[in-house]
């Protein structure tokens, strides 16, 4: 039986979700990455007015863009001000993660109904083990892949995805990019030389900018270049583990299984500001944002069934320096007020004289609610104390506003 793994990647996911909400924007260059002030405005006649990139001021970063915007050179992770120079007439919309998560759940449920062995890789992509799906061996997965595409389209009310089906995860992730958008690509071992080897080395998941630059210094620019290199030479110059992996990956070998579940190590929330904020002069705004992040993090913990014993903060300053601080609690919690106070304690250990570009809150040392409740339930004790606010008294942090629940 031939192993068949699919990689399903939603097409311009965030942007496509917004086009479902605002169908009058179809065919236009649209960028996702604005803030609250960039919400569309409904006019009296029922039409909408939209913010344009040309009018943007700030230091935001693009989350994603439609294919029309990409044709103008506007891509994710690009600064919004830079994008405005390339596509001044592009529409700018705010990010709405709650809406994206809703559609993410819809498309994943539709996939699992047809092929239940699924590895979740984020809000817009998954791996699917098709090997044991009835009939899949007859056509190398083409029919089931098309069924999955149709199911996703129907479940989401019109969103498209691209699917690559190959013998392993590494090749399938590459294949899902070949015919975007709305693509379906099947690759076998015989396609390695013609479809994979001509690709730039950086296209392979696992070859980052540093490794790509080092490979290029040795005139190894494509996957085929790496495949032709002596494996002992690769180990000598890139180390035992990574050198061996480069050789295997360039020859299309990848034995990783599709992992249907793994416990998260941490859960976090963060935001990049449209303008740099100062801990004193922008105290009220920072306090509001900080509180919202803590409330959102508490909601994420509750929704996913976890509690945390380590709360941390992440800050990026105007010089791009990143600082993190953590605090261990006397008991696990998913209480927003407790998280807010603990994160505030972390802030007291940071020099806040420079202006801030980014602020984040993280929950680590996670335990499932079942793990926390079961031992106490078995002993007949009250299960709630493990999740209540710890007895330690936290003083209110800098740029504070009222903690949630206060």
Residue 161 is part of a domain; what is its CATH number?
3.30.70.270
pLDDT of residue 387: 52
**CATH number where 241 lies:** 1.10.150.20
pLDDT of residue 376: 54
Using CA atoms, how far apart are residues 49 and 309, in angstroms rounded to an integer?
A: 46
pLDDT of residue 301: 92
**Inside any domain, residue 395:** no
- Tell which of 125, 158, 192 closes a domain: 192
Regarding whether 383 and 284 lie in a shared domain, the answer is yes
Residues 107-145 as b or e (16 or more Cβ within 10 Å = b): bbebbeeebebbbeeebbbbbbbbbebeebeeebbeebb
pLDDT of residue 32: 93
- Lowest-confidence region among 55-69, 235-249, 279-293, 352-366: 55-69
**Inside any domain, residue 260:** no
Q: Is the pLDDT of residue 151 over 90?
A: yes
pLDDT of residue 397: 47
- Give the pTM: 0.73
Q: Is the pLDDT of residue 385 over 80?
A: no
Confidence of residue 369 (pLDDT cuts 50, 70, 90): confident
Q: What is the mean pLDDT of residues 21-30?
A: 94
**Inside any domain, residue 238:** yes
Regarding whether 71 and 18 lie in a shared domain, the answer is yes
Confidence of residue 391 (pLDDT cuts 50, 70, 90): very low
Regarding whether 44 and 103 lie in a shared domain, the answer is no
- Tell which of 60, 95, 130 closes a domain: 95
Q: What is the mean pLDDT of residues 31-39?
A: 87
* Lookup: tokens for 316: 């990026």
Regarding whether 172 and 142 lie in a shared domain, the answer is yes
Regarding whether 145 and 103 lie in a shared domain, the answer is yes
**Inside any domain, residue 394:** no
Regarding whether 344 and 242 lie in a shared domain, the answer is no
Q: What domain range includes position 214?
A: 197-250
- Lowest-confidence region among 45-59, 92-106, 166-180, 392-406: 392-406
- Lowest-confidence region among 37-41, 105-109, 204-208, 372-376: 372-376
Q: Is the pLDDT of residue 82 over 50?
A: yes
pLDDT of residue 405: 42
Residues 4 and 131 sit within 8 Å (Cβ to Cβ): yes
* Lookup: tokens for 384: 């709630």
Phi, psi for 129 (deg, rounded to 5): -85, 110
**CATH number where 348 lies:** 3.30.1490.100
Q: Is the pLDDT of residue 259 over 80?
A: yes
Regarding whether 311 and 366 lie in a shared domain, the answer is yes
Catalogue the long-range contacts made by 247-254 (C-beta closer than 8 Å, 24 or more residues apart).
Answer: 249/170, 249/204, 249/206, 249/207, 249/223, 250/197, 250/204, 250/223, 250/224, 250/226, 251/192, 251/227, 252/167, 252/168, 252/170, 252/171, 252/189, 252/192, 252/196, 253/168, 254/168, 254/169, 254/170, 254/171
pLDDT of residue 84: 93
Regarding whether 374 and 282 lie in a shared domain, the answer is yes
pLDDT of residue 339: 96
More confident residue, 401 or 318: 318
Phi, psi for 329 (deg, rounded to 5): -95, 160
pLDDT tens string 120-144: 998 999 999 999 999 999 999 999 9
**Inside any domain, residue 402:** no
Confidence of residue 404 (pLDDT cuts 50, 70, 90): very low
More confident residue, 403 or 343: 343
- Tell which of 95, 118, 141 closes a domain: 95
pLDDT of residue 243: 96
Regarding whether 319 and 273 lie in a shared domain, the answer is yes
**Inside any domain, residue 383:** yes
Q: What is the mean pLDDT of residues 278-283?
A: 90
Q: Are strands 161-166 and 184-186 parallel, antiparallel or unpaired?
A: parallel
Q: Is the pLDDT of residue 237 over 60?
A: yes
Residues taking part in catalysis: 125
Q: What is the mean pLDDT of residues 219-233?
A: 97
Confidence of residue 395 (pLDDT cuts 50, 70, 90): very low
Regarding whether 234 and 308 lie in a shared domain, the answer is no
Regarding whether 324 and 213 lie in a shared domain, the answer is no
Regarding whether 278 and 381 lie in a shared domain, the answer is yes
Using CA atoms, how far apart are residues 363 and 337, in angstroms rounded to an integer?
A: 13
Q: Domain total for the chain?
A: 4
**CATH number where 36 lies:** 3.40.1170.60
Q: To the nearest whole percent, how much of the chain has pLDDT over 90?
A: 77
**Inside any domain, residue 60:** yes
Strand partners, 28: none
pLDDT of residue 400: 54
Q: Is the pLDDT of residue 97 over 60?
A: yes
Q: What is the mean pLDDT of residues 35-51?
A: 90
Q: To the nearest whole percent, how much of the chain has pLDDT over 70?
A: 92
Q: Is the pLDDT of residue 2 over 70?
A: yes
Residues 38 and 92 sit within 8 Å (Cβ to Cβ): yes
**Inside any domain, residue 141:** yes
């Amino acid at each position: 039986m031939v192993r068949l793994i699919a990689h399903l990647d939603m097409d311009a996911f965030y942007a496509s979700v917004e086009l479902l909400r605002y169908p009058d924007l179809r065919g236009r260059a649209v960028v996702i990455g604005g803030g609250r002030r960039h919400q569309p405005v409904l006019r009296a006649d029922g039409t909408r007015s939209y913010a344009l990139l040309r009018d943007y001021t700030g230091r935001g970063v693009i989350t994603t863009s439609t294919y029309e915007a990409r044709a103008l050179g506007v891509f994710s992770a690009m600064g919004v001000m830079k994008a405005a120079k390339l596509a001044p007439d592009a529409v700018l919309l705010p990010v709405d993660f709650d809406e994206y998560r809703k559609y993410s759940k819809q498309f994943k449920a539709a996939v699992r109904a047809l092929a239940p062995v699924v590895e979740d890789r984020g809000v817009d992509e998954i791996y699917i083990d098709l090997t044991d799906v009835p009939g899949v061996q007859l056509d190398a997965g083409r029919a089931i892949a098309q069924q999955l595409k149709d199911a996703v389209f129907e479940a989401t009310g019109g969103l498209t995805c691209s699917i690559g089906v190959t013998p392993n995860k590494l090749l399938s992730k590459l294949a899902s990019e070949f015919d975007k958008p709305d693509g379906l690509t099947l690759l076998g071992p015989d396609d390695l030389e013609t479809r994979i080897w001509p690709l730039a080395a950086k296209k392979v998941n696992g070859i980052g900018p540093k490794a790509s630059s080092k490979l290029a210094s040795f005139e190894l620019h494509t996957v085929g270049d790496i495949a032709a290199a002596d494996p002992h030479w690769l180990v000598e110059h890139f180390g035992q583990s990574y050198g061996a992996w480069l050789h295997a990956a360039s020859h299309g070998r990848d034995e990783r299984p599709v992992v249907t579940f793994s416990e998260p190590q941490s859960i976090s929330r963060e935001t990049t500001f449209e303008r740099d904020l100062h801990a004193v002069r922008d105290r009220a705004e920072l306090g509001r944002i900080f509180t919202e992040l803590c409330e959102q993090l508490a909601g994420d913990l509750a929704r996913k069934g976890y509690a945390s014993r380590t709360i941390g903060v992440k800050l990026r300053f105007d010089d791009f320096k990143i600082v993190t601080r953590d605090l261990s609690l006397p008991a696990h919690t998913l209480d927003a007020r407790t998280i807010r106070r603990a994160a505030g304690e972390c802030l007291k250990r940071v020099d806040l004289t420079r202006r801030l570009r980014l602020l984040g809150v993280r929950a680590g040392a996670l335990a499932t609610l079942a793990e926390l409740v079961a031992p106490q339930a078995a002993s007949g004790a009250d299960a709630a104390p493990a999740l209540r606010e710890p007895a330690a008294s936290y003083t209110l942090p800098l740029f504070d506003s009222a903690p949630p629940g206060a």
